[in-house]
Structure 1
């Protein structure tokens, strides 16, 4: 497993070691001991989530204002453009975002610490997205930052209009959103 630091404080890109031959491939998608040794993250994961979305579906930018979740995210089939936004007021990278291409082929993962908002856009015909969380989902604490907030300048690789949920269409600009201290 290779851990790559990003320009956002505490956000990590993880590239697993994949063993492949004519039969297919094998890789260890998660090992608590190795993850803790390489990242310094010892938070326990308490929930796994798995979604499937069609092309041009955009989910996010989501976070929980209480019971903040750390997330270890990856794509098992298809491809997405994954976006992470630092919403920790005390962070030197507050209000900055980073984007990654995650796919079933590249098998990359992203560690998103608590205090970040997260979203993704499906680039393939469909994509299956799997993520581990460090706290449970509490719908009453979930918030959504507007995916197209002009102040953020996120460069989504869109073709046409995205497919949004009502919650995501009603997301707030970062300037009006509840954020972390």
Structure 2
């Protein structure tokens, strides 16, 4: 398992060691001891899974304290552009985002810690995304930022004519309008 630090503190990319043979492949998607050895110490309590078609953008979503969630994101089928935005006001990278292609083929995972907004766009015809979280969903703590916020200027790698976004996500505030912090 390779755990790579990104330019944003605490945001890491995980690439498992994959063992292939004539039957297929095997890999450890999560190993608590290896994560802990690398400073990733979350108590994951729930797995969430979504299925989406090409052009869907989900996000940017988060929960504020005391229900902030850390997420370990991976793709079971298809390909997505996964995006995390640093919302920790005391961070040197506050307001910056990191994006990476996660796919069933590359088997990479993104570890999104507390204090980040998270979202993804579907680049393949369909995609199944699985993510572990360390906190339960709490509606009153739910927040978000518009996917097309000009300040963040995220390139979702989707043609604007193909973008599919929920009504709920279309009414989220812009980055400059958020009034909460971690």
Q: Same fold (TM over 0.5)?
A: yes
d(CA) in 1 for partners of 2:179 and 2:109?
A: 27
Where do 5+ consecutive residues of structure 1 fail to align?
none
**Cα deviation digits, residues 120-174 of structure 1 (max 9, x gap):** 0001110000000010111221111011111111111012241111111111111
Instruction: Show the counterpart of 1:61.
Output: 60
Q: 1:123-142 maps to which residues of 2 (within 5 A)?
A: 123-142=123-142
SS at match of 1:175: helix
Gaps of 5+ in 2: none
Instruction: Report the Cα offset of residue 43 of structure 1.
Output: 2.0
1:167 match: 168
2 CA distance for matches of 1:41 and 1:2? 13
TM-score for the superposition, normalised by structure 2 = 0.96
Does residue 48 of structure 1 match 2:47?
A: yes
Provide the residue aligned with 2:150 in structure 1.
150
Could you tell me how far 1:30 is from its partner in structure 2? Answer: 0.6
Q: Give the whole-Å Cα distance in 1 for the aligned partners of 2:7 and 2:97.
A: 9
Superposed, 1:55-94 pairs within 5 Å as: 55-66=54-65, 67-94=67-94
Computed over aligned residues only, the root mean square deviation of the Cα atoms, in angstroms, reads 1.0
Q: Partners in 2 of 1:99 and 1:127 — Cα distance?
A: 17
Partner Cα distance (1:64, 1:10) in 2: 18
Could you state the TM-score of these two structures normalised by the residue count of structure 1? 0.96
For 2:180 and 2:40, locate their aligned partners in 1 and report how far apart those are by CA, in whole Å. Answer: 22
SS at match of 1:35: helix
Question: Matched residue pairs, number?
Answer: 180
Alignment of 1:98-113 (within 5 A): 98-113=98-113
Q: Per-residue deviation at 1:178?
A: 3.2
2:14 match: 14
